[in-house]
Structure 1
Amino acid sequence: MKITIITIGSRGDVQPFVALGMGLVQVGYEVTICTSDRFESWIRERGLHYAYMNDHLLQITETDAGRAAIESGGNPLSLLQQVKPIIRQMLDEAWVAAQGTEAIIYHPKALSGYHIAEKLGIPLFMSLPLPLYTPTRAFPNPLFPDLHLGGWFNQLTYKILPLLTAPYMGVVNQWREDVLKLPDRSWRMSEQVRKNGQRVPVLYSYSPHVVPRPEDWSDQAIATGYWFLDSQEDWQPPADLVEFLAAGPAPVYVGFGSMAGRHPEQVTQIVIEALRRSEQRGVIATGWGGMVASDLPENVFQLKAVPHDWLFPQVAAVVHHGGAGTTAAGLRAGKPTVICPFFGDQPFWGRRVLELGVGPKPIPQKKLTVQGLADAIREAIDHQKYYQRAIELGEKIRAEDGVGQAVDWISDRLKASD
């Protein structure tokens, strides 16, 4: 059976689907991943088929305008006119990629998956690493602040969520008419409900130990456990990094992925000075388009990227922006965590780290200071409660088989649909 996975975004939006795809291949499915072409060789190296999608959206986030949008809170309206033709192109490319497929798994950011499955009349699964699309009274939608107003407010935030895609519905509906020959779809019509009124199955690729399953969830949603993709067996770390790690106490990892706003140099200097004041060695990950470092002190090592599953078990604590993937890797390694969120779901993961007792209160990037970060690093390392709870949570996460549970869940529903 042929399955097409459609996703878009940074490596953190693609890597879990590569892990899932490999799990599906192991039980006999033929899997193609349609995503940005910057990930093509990496996907093919893992034994999966690749289908083309352009890289323009990611390139925009690396421009000054894109950084400004991130720094201002990720408001898509500031780049809407520039982004609309790119979205149309991505929709067209996903449609080409899906020809001949028999089921679709999609990240909702890619916009196309639901509509293609509707046209082809095939099974579909939505998937993402945060509980965004399943209403509950237990907590508000992760993209909204937790105002502690109770269950009525929490449920309301899920009804409001479709407003976030409303600016793009004109592009999507024009594409539905031109290419799929389907009628318009209102932004009020959630992609989680099909024409027959049935809910679309949703796989959340995070651990229920991190976000427990709410009692009022639909049976069409599951938190499977994380979908980790470990480094390949033949991967070797840089020799100078190995030497640095061996030369002293375990360092603090600091990395903000592709995000450092319009002032990456300023953010980097805050990090370096905070490490000095907290008297910690550090490993700084610059990422692509992230922090910029030069003239580093001897107690700080700079790298562009390294597999988290290799590095994190060797550090004292992890400091990052709160991306779902980096949060998962740090918790799996059993390390205290300091989250410095920009926007989106990052504040949600910061709150979860605090509530789980595995790290101090998150520091929003707009409030990031040398002293504030230094204090948070010291608190994360010196507080015995964080250390012990992080170890215990890491053990629970490592005992899970998220990919295996997801593969079983998908297979059961595909068999039932035959």
Structure 2
Amino acid sequence: MQILIIATGTMGDVAPYTGLGLRLRQAGHQVAIATHKGFEDLIRSCGLEYRRFPGDPWGAASTMGVRVEQSATGLPPRLAVARLIPSLLRDCGQGVLDAARQGADVLLVSQGVAPLGRVVAEGLGLPSLGVFVVPLMPTASFPPVGVSLRSLGARGNRAAGDVMMSLAMRLYAPEVQRLRTELGLPGRGAGIRREILRRWPIWHGFSRHVVPRPPDWRPGLELSGYWWPASPRQWQPPPQLVDFLGAGPPPVYVGFGSNAPSHGERLGTVVVSALRRAGVRGVVQRGWAGMEATADGDILSIGEVSHEWLFPRTAAVVHHAGAGTTSAGLRAGVPAVPVPFLFDMHFWAARLVALGVSPSVVPFCALSEERLANAITMAVRDPEHLRKARAVSCRLADEDGAAPVIEAIDNLARSA
């Protein structure tokens, strides 16, 4: 069968689907991933078909970063981001439709375009599944991801989740209706919301050992385990990094991925000072912020590097708590210091603390040399964090996150 995966977002949102795609190909399927132009080389280097999808996550990340440093958890930044979403979605529906029209027997849709993908699947008569890397469905177990940092109680969490789902669907409504018109489907109003909430099968690519499955989720909302990103063919670590790792004790990794693109210089200064204050060596990834850590031989600045390769060689990882980087740190079995910015990052950061892998959360809005240094010191010197990180890693090693999705696709195709 021809499997088409629609994956949108930044690296941590897209990379897991390369691993899922490879496993599907090994199971005998043809696999294409439709995603943004900047990921074309990644997709092709993994031996998968690439299909172009509109959108510029790099530009969007820069725009969404406006005023985040003032209040990464406050309402004004969230409202500013919410106002951007309709413009970001404007071409996405057509992008899903164009990609599917190039050929597909089954459509797998990531959370960022789930309502649009579900409509396209209906219009083209394709079986489909949601494949999410973030738990977005309403539940009493925790508040809506990216909205509240504290539990609102079981009833409050569920009610808030229902409200947020309703508000999110309103953002998609104009593009959903345009797609339905183009595909000759009758207008259904809130029908797509009911379909996703009550019927559409959705698999979540994270582990029950990290986020237990909410008991109030309906059947069809399932956890598969992680879809580990594929390693690009013939990738080799930079010789300078290999030499640095061999020249002393394991360093602390620091990287903020696609966040804070306008704060590289300030972040670099804070990070270098915190690493020195904690008395540890450091590997600092520049990321989209362009963070430079100029120091003597105890700190090294690097570009893109395989987290799967690097993280097991570190004493701890300091990161933005995106879904992809969080999972890579857990897989490596090393302590973490999360510095969340927006959206689901606060959720994953709280999970790291709850698991005992991290001593504390250091929100980006409260980031300082002293606070970061203290958290790094606790992460590397308290053996309990390392013990718990290794325990989680061992549990993850026993899971095969792709297997249940492959089985679900085979069952879906047979029933279709």
Q: Does 1:148 align with 2:151?
A: yes
**Counterpart in the other structure of 2:406:** 407
**Counterpart in the other structure of 2:315:** 316
Secondary structure in 1 aligned to 2:321? coil
Q: Does 1:215 align with 2:215?
A: yes
Q: Give, in whole Å, the separation in 2 of the partners of 1:145 and 1:85.
A: 25
Q: Give, in whole Å, the separation in 1 of the partners of 2:132 and 2:68.
A: 20
Secondary structure in 2 aligned to 1:338? strand
Q: Give, in whole Å, the separation in 2 of the partners of 1:362 and 1:149.
A: 19
Provide Cα deviations, 1:84-124, integer angstroms capped at 9, x if missing partner.
45533232122111013222111131252111012122211
Deviates more, 1:76-85 or 1:356-365: 76-85
CA contact (8 A) 1:173 1:183 kept: no
**Counterpart in the other structure of 2:244:** 244
1:172 to 165, 171, 176: 176
Query: Alpha carbon RMSD of aligned pairs, Å?
Result: 2.3
Q: Give, in whole Å, the separation in 2 of the partners of 1:57 and 1:329.
A: 21
CA contact (8 A) 1:139 1:146 kept: no
**Counterpart in the other structure of 1:7:** 7
Provide Cα deviations, 1:382-405, integer angstroms capped at 9, x if missing partner.
112111111111111122111223
**Counterpart in the other structure of 2:34:** 34
Give the drift of 1:165. Answer: 4.4
Q: Does 1:306 align with 2:305?
A: yes
Q: Which amino acid aligns with 2:299?
A: V
Secondary structure in 2 aligned to 1:101? coil
**Counterpart in the other structure of 1:262:** 262
Deviates more, 1:260-269 or 1:163-172: 163-172
CA contact (8 A) 2:55 2:88 kept: no
Give the drift of 1:80. Answer: 7.1
Q: Which amino acid aligns with 1:49?
A: E
CA contact (8 A) 1:256 1:291 kept: no
Q: Give, in whole Å, the separation in 2 of the partners of 1:79 and 1:149.
A: 23
**Count of residue pairs the alignment pairs up:** 409
- Classify 1:185/1:376 alpha carbon distance in 2 versus 1 (closer, same or farther; 3 Å): farther
Task: Report the TM-score, using the length of structure 1 for normalisation.
Answer: 0.91
Secondary structure in 2 aligned to 1:259? coil
Deviates more, 1:71-80 or 1:217-226: 71-80
1:127 to 116, 131, 136: 131
Point out which structure has higher relative CO (alpha carbons under 8 A, 6+ apart): 2
Q: Give, in whole Å, the separation in 2 of the partners of 1:80 and 1:155.
A: 21
Q: Does 1:48 align with 2:48?
A: yes
Q: Does 1:59 align with 2:59?
A: yes
Secondary structure in 1 aligned to 2:207? coil
Secondary structure in 2 aligned to 1:222? strand
Q: Give, in whole Å, the separation in 2 of the partners of 1:66 and 1:170.
A: 22
Provide Cα deviations, 1:184-238, integer angstroms capped at 9, x if missing partner.
454x5554626xx951111110011111122232220211111112424632111
CA contact (8 A) 1:230 1:309 kept: no
Q: Give, in whole Å, the separation in 2 of the partners of 1:77 and 1:182.
A: 32
Task: Report the TM-score, using the length of structure 2 for normalisation.
Answer: 0.91
Secondary structure in 2 aligned to 1:98? helix
Unaligned runs of 5+ in 2: none
Q: Give, in whole Å, the separation in 2 of the partners of 1:353 and 1:388.
A: 13
Could you tell me the percent identity over the aligned residues? Answer: 36
Secondary structure in 2 aligned to 1:206? coil
Deviates more, 1:365-374 or 1:215-224: 215-224
Give the drift of 1:144. Answer: 2.8
Q: Does 1:285 align with 2:289?
A: no
- Classify 1:45/1:323 alpha carbon distance in 2 versus 1 (closer, same or farther; 3 Å): same
Q: Give, in whole Å, the separation in 1 of the partners of 2:224 and 2:155.
A: 27
**Counterpart in the other structure of 1:96:** 98
